[in-house]
Amino acid sequence: MAILTRRALVKSGTALAAAGALTGPALLEWARAWAQNAPWKPEPGAQLSMLRWKYFVQSEDDAFVKILEAFTKATGVPVTVARESYEDVQPKASVAANTGAGPDLFWGLYSLPHLFPQKCLDVSDVADYLGKKYGGWVPTAVTYGKSGDKWIAVPIVYGGNMQNYRLEASKKAGFSKFPETTDAFLEYAKAMKKNNTPGGMALGHASGDGNGWTYWCLWAHGGNAVDKDDKVIINSPETAKALEYAKQLTDDMITGVASWNDASNNKAFLAGEVYWTNNGISIYVAAQKDPTKKQIAEDMDHAFWPVGPIGKPTELHLMYPILVMNYTKYPQASKALIAFMMEADQFNGWLEAAQGYLTHCLNAYDNNPVWTADPKRAPFRDAAKRSLTAGGLGSVGEKAATAIADFVILDMFANYCTGREDVKGSIAIAERQLKRIYR
């Protein structure tokens, strides 16, 4: 039997990962070899704390914990992790940035690092190392990760936000597959509701699902919050058309979506209350594991978002960047941890454990088996490449981060779709908010 030395493990890392992610003793042996050769040497007595978004797929978090355990065993650096909802990571990170105290690392959503770019540790060396080793970053990941010429965060993964739909109900409504255009989507929603198999998408403050579909709708009709120079242009005929379209779509959704958060549509879909919605792959994963919901897993699939009048994809998928606060006492340990998380020898296994919920930002992972093992996962493979950024035409800096964190676009759609405001009033409110943010 061949014996793998530490030197051999380091040299063969990518090849080993291609054959299958390392586990158990092999992972620990590789981790120790990696720690000896990595350019980042943890400070004596280093210990790290991290706040991350709360997982939606248990196996993803299990794999993540194993990576951290291997890192600790290899480097001697303990890592404690707290988990919060999407909505709670951002305010806690902002408080930490302002007070100079809190977790060393924050793993959040969208443009989180750009809320306080001057408080983020420069991690350009880590991002450059990973990009060179793993085939380069997808363009939008670079946009999210960099502020000016330096990387203020490392874009770990995207969370694909695709259409989840029931197959038999769609066929009964006259659709053999999910509609590919916005016009067909309206027909689909109407036919599904007529058959008592309606769908629904969140209009409450759902950071992932609510922002995801309203930004898609705005962009699909040619509307934008700002132009390339960050000038506010929300007050436009295109925005009005997007609002009118959304109103027609929501009229054929299940009632109550105005109060939905990011968990509401999952529950409704699995309860058989809705038959289409936008979400990650977590609904499918949960249905597969629950004996009482397996029929739903067999009778559902995923699809890209319909293309609107603009004629090209206008999707917004969830970006999960990780940042290090510059108040950390252990910058080298923090950088080592991030680089370690992204190395193929365990990142490939992490992707597989996520079962399609997480999508890579580094091109080398396009061929991970997770994307071919189950055809229903395939759309999520392309989330990173299809996604626009939270800034739209504009920059993805502090202002764009504030706009999405404050739900400016989402509230504009909710105001009109629920009848709280007419088109002009809904746009006017959003315009005032955006001009205050982008002043």
Q: How far apart are CA 108 and CA 370, in angstroms?
A: 24
pLDDT at residue 17 in the model: 39
Q: Residue 396 domain-assigned?
A: no
Q: How far apart are CA 157 and CA 137, in angstroms?
A: 11
Token code pair at residue 42: 């943890």
Of the candidates 167, 44, 132, 194, which has an alpha carbon nearest to the alpha carbon of residue 339?
Answer: 132
pLDDT at residue 43 in the model: 98
Tell whether 202 and 340 lie within a shared domain. no
Tell whether 144 and 207 lie within a shared domain. no
Using one digit for the tens of pLDDT, what is the confidence trace for 122-151?
A: 999 999 999 999 999 999 999 999 999 999
Tell whether 426 and 338 lie within a shared domain. no
Tell whether 282 and 181 lie within a shared domain. yes
Q: How many structural domains is the chain composed of?
A: 2
Tell whether 283 and 328 lie within a shared domain. no
- Please enumerate in sequence order all residues whose Cβ is within 8 A of that of 230, keeping only pairs 6 or more positions apart, or say none: 394, 395, 399, 438
Tell whether 253 and 376 lie within a shared domain. no
Tell whether 323 and 217 lie within a shared domain. no
pLDDT at residue 21 in the model: 58
Using one digit for the tens of pLDDT, what is the confidence trace for 56-75?
A: 889 999 999 999 999 999 99
pLDDT at residue 7 in the model: 33
- Which residues in the chain show pLDDT less than 70? 1-23
Q: Residue 102 domain-assigned?
A: yes
pLDDT at residue 159 in the model: 95
Q: Residue 399 domain-assigned?
A: no
Tell whether 200 and 324 lie within a shared domain. no
What secondary structure does DSSP assign to 197-238, as a single string?
A: --B----SS-TTHHHHHHHHHHHHTT--SB-TT--B--SSHH
Q: How far apart are CA 53 and CA 109, in angstroms?
A: 8
Tell whether 191 and 276 lie within a shared domain. yes
Q: Residue 285 domain-assigned?
A: yes
pLDDT at residue 27 in the model: 78
Token code pair at residue 90: 């951002």
Q: What angle do CA 92, 325, 32 make, to 5 degrees?
A: 115
Q: Residue 87 domain-assigned?
A: yes
Tell whether 78 and 131 lie within a shared domain. yes
Q: How far apart are CA 118 and CA 325, in angstroms?
A: 9
Domain assignment of residue 254, given as a range: 162-316+406-437
Tell whether 321 and 293 lie within a shared domain. no
pLDDT at residue 63 in the model: 95
Residue with the two structure tokens 């993540």: 64
Tell whether 245 and 221 lie within a shared domain. yes
Q: Residue 394 domain-assigned?
A: no
Q: Residue 2 domain-assigned?
A: no
Using one digit for the tens of pLDDT, what is the confidence trace for 266-313?
A: 999 999 999 999 999 999 999 999 999 999 999 999 999 999 999 999
Q: Residue 210 maps to which CATH number? A: 3.40.190.10
Q: Residue 194 domain-assigned?
A: yes
pLDDT at residue 168 in the model: 98
